Each structure stands twice: as structure tokens, then as C-alpha cells.
């Protein structure tokens, strides 16, 4: 049984849903983010707003939510040539992947998360990687996660689980999962409580836009991250609409 979790928490829609997933199942949950020289710091600021809102709106979860950690990985930004670490237009690269791909990012994140989990006595790492609505990043694949789980468990000589609750669901089902988790938490506002929190406070936009919010939250509305989030919202709302 894995009851003590470390959530890779960027402050976006996916990682906020993963944090709620962990809080609904584990007795103790800590959060971890990385400053890797990303082109904007809005997500690092917004993740703190999400944590404050979770503590205030979900009392049952607040008691389980432990320490937050931020690790400086600026060296990753120095060695990567990506639209997430350079002020350049987002486009498809020659390798068939978008130039938002940061090679090795998730592998490095998980290695540091494993070391922190070992020190903190945590037995599960939760991450929002997904093979359904995603940009084709090879370090988000299920096979990659299984390989990293084995490597970390062997290297730490301790069974460490990598939990990927979003791996096989699309963005519409991610919105539904957030709704379900909010309802299960018994917070004021029922199932809509967590959805509203994600819309108001989370940040996923690659360009760091934080202006007038859309129905689905803040963002430029045009980058791949915003497009996925908006399309998922539209599909979810359409599915939730009562039939005539």
C-alpha cells in the first residue's frame, strides 16, 4: 500500500487534478516543482495560488497537504534548445516533435523526485503525463514511466510507485475527473468546486498569458497547451449538457 505521495506539481490543469487525485487517496501528500529556466515564471507563481485555494476550499484535504518543494534546475534550460526555454515561435521541429519538447525533462524531474521522496519517506510519485491528448513527447509515454519506476526502485533499493492517473484519458475526461474528485471531497460547491479552482487559478499556457479568462481558464487561447485545454473543456461541457 502506498500512502505517502510526492506530486510533481507545476500549477497547471493536469498537475492540479493529479494533486487532488493524490489527496483523495493518500494520508500525506507533498508537492514538488522545478525552476528550469522556463521562458515565463507565471506557472511558478500560480502554483502557490492553487495551493492556497486548495487549503482554503477543501478542509479535508488541507490536513493531508504537507510541505511544498522547489528545486532549481536552471542547468536544464542551459542545455536545451526549446520554445519553453527560449523566446522563439512554437513550431514543429525536424524530428517530428514540436519545439516545445525539452529533451530529458521528465527523466530528470523523476530522478530528482525519487531522491527527494527517498529523503522524505514518501513511497509514491504522482505525475500528470498522458499518452492520449499530448504532443507526442516520448518522455510522457507509459513505457517511459514504467522504465523509470523500475530504475528508481532498483537505484534506491526501495519500491517506489510512479502513479500516472491521466495516462489514458483525454482532456475532456480530465475535466470530468476534477469534477468527480471535487464532489468526493465534500467541499462547498460540490463537484464544481475543484473545476472552478482550476479555471480561476491554474496556468497551462506556453506563452504565459494571464489576461481576461476564457470559460476554461487563463491563457493565450492559441498555443498547443491552450488548444488542448479549450477543446477538452468544450467536449466535456457538451457531454454534460442535458439532452433535449
pLDDT digits (tens, 9 = 90+) for 115-149: 999 999 999 999 999 988 666 778 889 999 999 99
Residue ranges of domains in the chain: 4-240
pLDDT at 90: 52
Q: Indicate the Cα dihedral angle 57, 166, 222, 97, nearest 10°.
A: 150
Kindly report the average pLDDT of the chain as a whole number: 88
pLDDT tens for 156-188 read: 999 999 999 999 999 999 999 999 999 999 888
Are 14 and 50 in contact, with CB atoms under 8 Å apart?
Answer: no
Structural domain 4-240, CATH architecture? 3-Layer(aba) Sandwich (3.40)
C-alpha to C-alpha distance for 72 and 50, rounded to whole angstroms: 20
In 127-153, which positions are buried (b, 16+ CB within 10 angstroms) versus exposed (e)? Answer: bbbbbebbeebebbbeebbeebbeebe
Read off the pLDDT of residues 23-61 as tens digits, 9 standing for 90 and up: 999 999 999 999 887 767 888 899 999 999 999 999 999
57 DSSP assignment:
H
Amino acid at each position: 500500500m502506498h500512502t505517502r505521495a510526492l506530486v510533481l506539481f507545476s500549477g497547471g490543469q493536469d498537475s492540479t487534478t493529479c494533486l487532488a487525485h493524490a489527496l483523495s487517496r493518500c494520508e500525506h501528500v507533498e508537492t514538488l516543482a522545478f525552476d528550469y529556466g522556463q521562458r515565463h515564471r507565471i506557472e511558478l507563481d500560480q502554483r502557490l495560488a492553487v495551493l492556497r485555494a486548495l487549503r482554503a476550499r477543501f478542509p479535508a484535504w488541507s490536513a493531508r497537504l504537507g510541505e511544498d518543494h522547489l528545486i532549481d534546475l536552471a542547468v536544464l534550460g542551459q542545455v536545451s534548445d526549446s520554445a519553453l526555454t527560449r523566446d522563439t515561435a512554437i513550431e514543429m521541429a525536424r524530428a517530428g516533435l514540436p519545439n516545445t519538447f525539452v529533451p530529458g525533462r521528465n527523466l530528470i524531474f523523476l530522478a530528482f523526485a525519487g531522491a527527494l521522496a527517498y529523503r522524505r519517506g514518501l513511497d509514491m510519485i504522482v505525475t500528470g503525463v498522458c499518452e492520449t491528448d499530448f504532443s507526442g513527447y516520448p518522455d510522457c509515454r507509459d513505457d517511459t514511466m514504467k522504465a523509470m519506476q523500475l530504475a528508481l526502485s532498483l537505484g534506491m533499493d526501495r519500491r517506489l510507485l510512479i502513479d500516472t492517473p491521466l495516462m489514458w484519458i483525454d482532456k475532456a475526461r480530465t475535466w470530468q475527473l476534477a469534477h468527480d474528485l471535487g464532489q468526493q471531497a465534500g467541499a462547498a460547491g460540490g463537484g464544481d468546486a475543484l473545476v472552478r479552482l482550476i479555471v480561476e487559478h491554474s496556468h497551462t499556457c506556453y506563452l504565459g498569458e494571464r489576461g481576461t479568462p476564457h470559460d476554461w481558464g487563463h491563457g493565450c487561447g492559441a498555443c498547443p497547451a491552450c488548444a488542448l485545454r479549450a477543446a477538452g473543456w468544450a467536449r466535456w461541457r457538451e457531454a454534460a449538457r442535458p439532452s433535449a
